[in-house]
Amino acid sequence: MELARNPLRSLTAYLAEGIDGTLLAIALAIAALGLVTLYSASYDQPGRVASQATNLAVALGAMWLVARVPPQTLMRFALPAYLLGLLLLVAVASFGDVVNGARRWLHIGVTRFQPSEMMKLALPLMLAWYFHRREAGLRPLDFAVGAALLALPVLMIARQPDLGTAVLVAAAGFYVIFFAGVGWKPLAALGVLGLASLVPLWGLLHDYQRRRILMLLDPAQDPLGAGYHIIQSTIAVGSGGLTGKGWLRGTQTHLEFIPERHTDFVLAVFSEEFGLLGNCLLLVLYALLVGRGLMIAANAASFFARLLAGSIALMFFTYVFVNMGMVAGILPVVGVPLPFISYGGTALVTLFLGLGILMSVQRHRKLVQT
Amino acid sequence: MRPAELRDHERELYYFQLRIGFAGAVVLVAFALLFARFFYLQVVQHGRYASKAEDNRISIVPIAPNRGLILDRNGVVLARNYSAYTLEIFPAKVRDLERTIGELGAVVEVQAKDRSRFRKLLAETRSAESLPIRTRLSDEEVARFAANRYRFPGVEIKARLFRQYPLGATASHVLGHIGRISTRDRDRLEELGVEANYRGTDFIGKAGIEASYQHELHGTAGVEQVEIDAAGRGLRTLARTPAQPGNDVKLTLDVRLQQIAEDGFGERRGALVALEPQTGAVLAFVSRPGFDPNLFVDGIDPAHWDALNNSPDRPLNNRAIAGVYPPGSTFKPYMALAALELGKRTPRSTIHDPGYFVFGERRFRDSKPGGHGTVDLYKSIVVSSDTFYYQLANDLGIDAIAGFMQHFGFGARTGIDLEGEASGVLPSPQWKRKRFRLPEQQKWYPGETISIGIGQGYNAYTPAQLALAVATLANQGAMYRPHLVSQVENPRSGTRRSIGPELVKRVPLRAENVEFVLRAMAGVNREGTGARAFAGAQYTSGGKTGTAQVVGMKQNEKYDERRVSERLRDHALFIAFAPLESPRIALAVLVENSGFGARAAAPIARAVLDYYLLGKLPAAPVRPAPLEAAEDAASD
């Protein structure tokens, strides 16, 4: 009956059902800044903006679908998704495509797929589900199992090698363990252990990964290779100044000094053209996004939903921190995109799926006690 | 109970929210850190970076190193470089490619093959690079384009180095060729961590020595700091670290010997590998038909590519290391040696050869109807008795045969310094189990051993393996890894690095047994199946003829019956070494579908030995002079 009276209105209501307006508004604001920046970065490759807009539409659709799935239903996907992810990682290791020297891609029919990307959500889902089942009495052993569930896919991804994704997946898993309430002492012990393991880990790194880290100390060492990225992106950021050089006016960008300017180094383009003020705006938007996510986690109805939402919110933070740190020259160059801004469809879909999960948690939150 | 649980729950929630708060604090601190860093870069250090960006009119331009030369053992140049102007398009900077190319055609000549090559490159490479639409511009064309340059944004003239192979198709399967760096090559370079050294380089070795010695030939890229204007155009060079040219590579090959060997094949398909037994140095290495590597240097055009790729003669296939063939009767000397070493025959034991060997229900026939009568070990090699070896194979058994033959490298890669070597098949029950799926196919039938004895059946080896085996035999069982490169030289400093002989193994053999087999092989060339080809030779030599059946070959070209039957004809083989007393050369020749080894393959071996040992040129007309050098080269 309602439908007949005002069809347009009820359609809007139908579409908006379960969508968290605040989250969506923040994400869209960032994405809009992204398209503007991409327009400037891709002056010589028209079509990038349109194709990113298409990616955005697909990602929004994915978010909308997931937002309508209650957390209890999501829980049922945890184990299958995790196992499938592991299986695909094994498949990639045995017969994946090698691109840029890393074995990350799997051919499925006509398209290629990166199973490590899927783990970014599958691992927190799995861990949240595991801890949820054991909620009644979590023991140290449970955390050990959790750590093992985390280590397995992370090591496989690091071996591909894909350090950036490995860091993100490891972080997402770690946040679940942290929120599940692992004691501060084991946490501190883990931290010490982690630092100590850096020494043997150095030996396991690929030459190019080592070079990228050393490059932080002395970028001038290799002006044709990795050092070039850092030198040029730092100049772009620094020369942007307080207010930036203005949209489409970045010389570093337009004289092609910034490498990977559509993807991992897109922030250098943004910083050059919009300056410190632009960066502040971006930081505030990201802080709001993460803050909203953490709020949703705090009010979530179940243990599972809390862990999942908390982990996803902090995963957004990790993306931002690692990418911005890299462009600003304080973290090594690893392949982590700037969320909602970097060009690329797969990452965008993952991010919006994460938003969708947060929205679902928010919709089924605990009713406020009166 | 209930209230306690509830309290527990609340406490848990409290702790969770505490951690959420903690996480929020960490996030804020991290963002503050980022803000501080941005503040430092964009406010505190802004002046410094702003002037750097202003000075960042300095573009870092890589300088591609000169590729090293390839020389034969006497210093004859087989591959070199020349510089020429190319007209290149940055596809990303041009809005309408077709129109631009059309308009360019009015200024400089652009042929259909230039267009199709450009389209092929466009499909293969990443869009950021500039791609040639025309190569080797004349001075006049350069001048004409320069005058019209303003009309063509995104189109540039560049001076580039091109590879040139002055002798054309000679030794093409040794030299291989270079080609444009593909996306796949880039991935491999990144995997090796050398991609920075390849910035500015367009070409890379794709086959042959050009590929296997790529890292020696390439050199080290230089860097040039060029001042550019606001539009990105170069104004002047500020600093320059010159490129270090790649190393010159000297081959063990004697190009005259190589040409004589190639000419020996005429129009026929086949392969020849000649080795120096004491070092493993490759003296001649032929795979026919060959190809002209010059076709590849500035991107092969599709018409030529299709012709090479689809030819039934498969000219791009390196038969000498990638083609596998049954050795036929050239297997017999090793069978004889196995019989002596394992005590299954003595030089004096004889058999009666009625012209066939009966095994169970089956009758294995000798190639000579009626047989060779009474045959001893010596005669069995000289006249090439099949019956003798049917029986011997049956007496030895497959495991003993396979165990002995692997000493000579049969069925294993020789380790020659070229890519794409096949391993061939040394048949054994073990191999069959691995090779086949079905249990009845996996089983080794005793009848299968019989034809192994005369080099047929599952036997399949590369000509390089056959040459290595005869070299090892001639060298008393000492096997040296075949190698094509003797020396790598830095053209700047003159520093040389020799690539010396590498002993792979010493096959434990009794000297008198080896002597016996070598003398029997000398008998082949003196009074046996090789006698006609070696009539009047002024040196002693040993040899063995072979004729290999082309089995189970299916042909779908039904329309050309003459050709089909030609392709099903036997392969001719010959292995040889000379001189008998202390062999300086050992070789294997294979001529596809040419019938008897004695007739088709042995004369080629004779011509090679004549030249190598006596410096004598064959009576047949000498091949035409090499391609004229750089007539279309160097406009500067």
Report the distance separating Cα B450 and Cα B564, nearest Å: 29
DSSP assignment, residue A367?
Answer: P
The alpha carbon of residue B22 and the mean position of all alpha carbons in its chain are separated, in whole angstroms, by 63
Same domain? For B150 and B187 the reply is yes
Q: Is residue B526 part of a domain?
A: yes
State whether B196 and A224 contact (CB < 8 Å).
yes
State whether B19 and A291 contact (CB < 8 Å).
no
- The ipTM (two decimal places) reads 0.93
pLDDT at B438: 85
Q: What band does A32 get if pLDDT is binned at 50, 70 and 90?
A: very high
The distance of A174 to chain B (nearest Cα, Å) reads 12
Same domain? For B547 and B563 the reply is yes
Same domain? For B511 and B621 the reply is yes
Q: Is residue B27 part of a domain?
A: no
For B398-455, what is each residue's pLDDT tens digit?
999 999 999 999 999 999 999 999 999 999 999 998 888 888 888 888 888 999 999 9
Cis peptide, bond prior to residue A200, ω within 30 of zero: no
Same domain? For B232 and B169 the reply is yes
Task: Name the percent of chain B in helix, strand, coil, to the closest 5.
Answer: 40, 20, 35
Q: Is residue B464 part of a domain?
A: yes
For the cut 50, the answer to whether the pLDDT of residue B331 exceeds it is: yes
Which amino acid type is present at position A158? A
State whether A181 and B59 contact (CB < 8 Å).
no
State whether B191 and A234 contact (CB < 8 Å).
no
Q: Report DSSP letters for B143-166, one per residue.
A: HHHHHHGGG-TTEEEEEEEEEE-T
Helices and strands (H, E) in chain B, number of each type: 24, 23
B334 or A141, which is more confident: B334
For the cut 90, the answer to whether the pLDDT of residue B616 exceeds it is: no
CATH number at residue B437: 3.40.710.10
Report the distance separating Cα B204 and Cα B220, nearest Å: 14
Same domain? For B467 and B609 the reply is yes
Q: What band does B580 get if pLDDT is binned at 50, 70 and 90?
A: very high
Q: What band does A82 get if pLDDT is binned at 50, 70 and 90?
A: very high
For the cut 90, the answer to whether the pLDDT of residue A12 exceeds it is: no
A113 or B556, which is more confident: A113
Residue B420 belongs to domain spanning: 255-312+325-633
State whether B34 and A283 contact (CB < 8 Å).
yes
Q: Which of B16, B29, B63 to mutate to test the interface with A (most CBs of A within 10 A)?
A: B16
State whether A330 and B62 contact (CB < 8 Å).
no
The distance of B635 to chain A (nearest Cα, Å) reads 30
Of these residues, B130, B172, B212, B329, which one is catalytic? B329
A–B: how many Cβ contacts below 8 A? 143
Q: Which of B43, B62, B223 lies closest to A276 in CB terms?
A: B43
pLDDT at A104: 65
Mark which of B204, B233, B251 sits at the end of a domain: B251
What are the chain A neighbours of B239 within 8 Å (beta carbons)?
none
CA atoms within 13 A on the CB side of B311: 15
Q: Which of B42, B187, B232 lies closest to A275 in CB terms?
A: B42
Strands B248-251 and B356-359: unpaired
Q: Which of B5, B29, B33, B49 to mutate to test the interface with A (most CBs of A within 10 A)?
A: B49
User: Residue A171 belongs to what H/E stretch?
Assistant: helix A163-179
Same domain? For B268 and B244 the reply is no
Report the distance separating Cα A290 and Cα B34, nearest Å: 15
Please report how the helices A266-298 and B2-39 are oriented relative to each other, as an axis angle in degrees rounded to 10: 160
State whether B56 and A251 contact (CB < 8 Å).
yes
Among A229-238, B85-94, B371-380, B457-466, which stretch is predicted with the lowest mean pLDDT? B85-94
Q: Which of B23, B38, B197 lies closest to A314 in CB terms?
A: B23
What are the chain B neighbours of A219 within 8 Å (beta carbons)?
none
State whether B42 and A290 contact (CB < 8 Å).
no
CATH number at residue B70: 3.90.1310.10
Strands B542-548 and B571-578: antiparallel
For A258-305, what is each residue's pLDDT tens digit?
878 888 899 999 999 999 999 999 999 999 999 999 999 999 989 999
Report the distance separating Cα B610 and Cα B275, nearest Å: 15
Same domain? For B233 and B145 the reply is yes
Q: What band does A306 get if pLDDT is binned at 50, 70 and 90?
A: very high
B236 or B584, which is more confident: B584
Question: Burial of B479 by CB count in 10 Å (0-12 exposed, 13-18 middle, 19+ buried)?
Answer: buried
What are the chain A neighbours of B197 within 8 Å (beta carbons)?
224
The distance of B522 to chain A (nearest Cα, Å) reads 53
CB proximity list for B593: less than 8 A, separation 6 or greater: B269, B550, B566, B567, B568, B569, B570, B571
What are the chain B neighbours of A317 within 8 Å (beta carbons)?
27, 30
Q: Which two tokens stand for residue B92?
A: 């990303």
Same domain? For B531 and B485 the reply is yes
Q: How many domains does chain B have?
A: 2
Per the CB < 8 A criterion, the answer to whether B187 and B227 are in contact is: no
Q: Is residue B52 part of a domain?
A: no
The distance of A208 to chain B (nearest Cα, Å) reads 6
Q: Which of B42, B59, B62 lies closest to A237 in CB terms?
A: B42
For B188-202, what is each residue's pLDDT tens digit?
887 787 888 888 788
State whether A314 and B37 contact (CB < 8 Å).
no
Report the distance separating Cα A320 and Cα A322, nearest Å: 6
Q: What band does A28 get if pLDDT is binned at 50, 70 and 90?
A: very high
Beta pairing partners, B88:
B132, B156
Q: Is residue B523 part of a domain?
A: yes
Question: Average pLDDT in the A178-189 region?
Answer: 86
Report the distance separating Cα A76 and Cα A34, nearest Å: 35
Same domain? For B166 and B189 the reply is yes
Beta pairing partners, B587:
B274, B576
State whether A181 and B12 contact (CB < 8 Å).
yes
Q: Which residue matches tokens 């094949």?
A: B265
The distance of A82 to chain B (nearest Cα, Å) reads 25
Same domain? For B538 and B396 the reply is yes
pLDDT at B476: 94
Report the distance separating Cα A339 and Cα A312, nearest Å: 13
Report the distance separating Cα A10 and Cα A25, nearest Å: 21
Q: Is residue B208 part of a domain?
A: yes
Report the distance separating Cα A116 and Cα A88, nearest Å: 8
Q: What is the pTM of this model?
A: 0.62
Q: Tell me whether residue B127 is one of the annotated catalytic residues.
A: no
Mark which of B251, B269, B289 sits at the end of a domain: B251
Q: Is residue B412 part of a domain?
A: yes
Per the CB < 8 A criterion, the answer to whether B43 and A241 are in contact is: yes
Q: Which residue matches tokens 């020996």?
A: B264
Q: Is residue B602 part of a domain?
A: yes
A361: left (phi > 0), else alpha (psi -120 to 50), else beta? alpha
Mark which of B201, B229, B251 sits at the end of a domain: B251
Beta pairing partners, B155:
B89
The distance of B38 to chain A (nearest Cα, Å) reads 7
Same domain? For B215 and B264 the reply is no
Q: Which two tokens stand for residue B237?
A: 């060079």
What dihedral angle (degrees, nearest 10) is formed by the CA atoms of B182, B185, B187, B193?
A: -140
Q: Which of B15, B39, B41, B94 to mutate to test the interface with A (most CBs of A within 10 A)?
A: B41
Q: Which of B20, B38, B46 lies closest to A298 in CB terms?
A: B20
Same domain? For B147 and B198 the reply is yes
Question: Average pLDDT in the B474-483 region?
Answer: 95
